[in-house]
Amino acid sequence: MILVINFGGQYSHLIARRVRELGVKSEIAPYDISASQVKNMKPAGIILSGGPSSVYDEGAPIPDRKLLELGIPVLGICYGLQLIAKFSNGKVLAGKLKEFGKKTLKVKKTGKLLKGLSRKEQIWMSHGDLVEGMPKVFTVLASTDSCPVAAFEDNGKKLYGIQFHAEVVHTPKGMRIFRNFVFDICRAKKDWSIKDLQGKLISGLKKEIGNNSVIMGVSGGVDSTVAATLLHRAIGDRLYCVFIDHGLIRKGEKEEVTGFFESKLRFRHFYFIDASNKFLEKLKGVTDPEEKRKIIGHTFIEAFEEKVLELEKKHPGIKFLGQGTIYPDRIESAQPSKEASKIKSHHNLTLPERMKLKVVEPLREFYKDEVRKLGSGLKIPESILNRHPFPGPGLAIRILGEITPERLRILREADYIFIDTLRKFWQYDKVWQAFAALLPVKSVGVMGDARTYDYVISLRAVTSVDGMTADWARIPDVVLEIASNRIINEVRGVNRVLYDISQKPPSTIEYE
């Protein structure tokens, strides 16, 4: 087993997942776990995660220093590297130069940790502090133009560190580094497989829910569909699925989702609720993105509870609310760790304190690509599994600023045209997610020799594996041109279309 010590980093759980991908069991522990507790767990290796703090911050999460003295190999990543440096009398500079995004790693020596890497490699940085120097017992393996110590090792004390994030997909050789650490340095054994999880998940749900029933909101997306299917396998017709139209769904969404659940998945209890007026009335005049998410989340629960009261008259025993929450949702909402930095609230993580239902989340420990693998094992149709992610708050977080019927109409049509164009030119399945967003500004244009003053639409398409990091997709120019021309010509109220080429991080995939 490899133990990951969590310092609140956005990628802490992703590290554990990378280890699992190698076929080795991994567990996550809080930063304040004692060295004696770790010793009793008998891990083959320890990984210190990144985190939002500086080692010099007052109240910064500082682990038991004796962790480095157990004789167990330790790999520090980002903040974890800085901790090892501080404990080992290295020189850590606070906030001298911040690095985010793609960088070039210059490998001086491969050592054990970087075995198999070339002299220059692409890496992904996300840090404020950096290490300027280490004691002579350490071998500095690599650097970047602005970071003199980007990787080091001390084989005698079994201490290793990298300043960059090997766990994200935009560090192409990241898995090679983990393989070097897990197998060559830690000598860990393969003992874990995602194929073994389906039965365990279903068994766990049966035990958790007992003889009670579950009501669940479904969107037709990958997460809610896989979660609902797992619940259905566990409790059968005691699952009640509800699709709530909050007025923020895409064009044709109602018909598509209803067809999925009634015709393809053949769920007995599927209900459609049109609550659009209630949602839009509560969102009137609201511009703050966090407030939007909270209103939508709370209104969702209200709608569910109303449906529960209605259903309980005929079907008593509904005690649980099923949700398709996946791990990135919890990470961005700062739930996995008290040290994590909150990025945004997710609609299914902003529940009223006095909610009447208990929450059951079958996928809370998984990432998007793992969810798809689970779905494939459950024989869910590829047409569902390959759908692009769509956020619970829907178009609300793709309209920056106030939500109005006019803005919804514009965005709904623009988004439909963009996706339709991608499908027609065989680009849809080449990107991880694509959508249109409406910016709260207007620009001058000319149409039919007349001046216009209309909205700006931003198109976004990204490549990713798990949604934790993302790069902008290189959509062919001709496809973007066709989409832009169609939007401007077919959607009344738009005279300018942009294409977003920002990465995550520092940006997020969604706009709010």
Per-position DSSP letters for 350-419, written without gaps between them: ---TT-SSEEE-TTTT--HHHHHHHHHHTT--HHHHTSPP--TTGGGGGB-S---HHHHHHHHHHHHHHH
Which residues contact residue 480 at a Cβ distance below 8 angstroms, ignoring those fewer than 6 apart?
Answer: 459, 499
Q: Is the peptide bond before 505 cis (omega within 30 degrees of 0)?
A: yes
Question: Which residues are paired to 439 by β-bridges?
Answer: 456
H or E element: which one contains 496?
Answer: strand 494-499
How far, in Å, CA of 174 to CA of 77, rounded?
A: 12
Query: Which listed residue (121, 153, 167, 361) is catalytic?
Result: 167
How far, in Å, CA of 257 to CA of 331, rounded?
A: 27
How far, in Å, CA of 456 to CA of 104, rounded?
A: 35
Q: Per DSSP, which regions of 173-292 are E strands? A: 213-217, 239-245, 270-274
Residue 510 a catalytic site member: no
Contact (CB, 8 A) for 386 and 429: yes
Query: Which listed residue (127, 165, 170, 246) is catalytic?
Result: 165
Residue 139, CB-side half-sphere exposure with 13 Å CA sphere: 15
Q: Per DSSP, which regions of 117-261 are E strands? A: 120-127, 130-133, 139-143, 151-154, 159-162, 213-217, 239-245
Residue 167 a catalytic site member: yes
Catalytic residues: 78, 165, 167
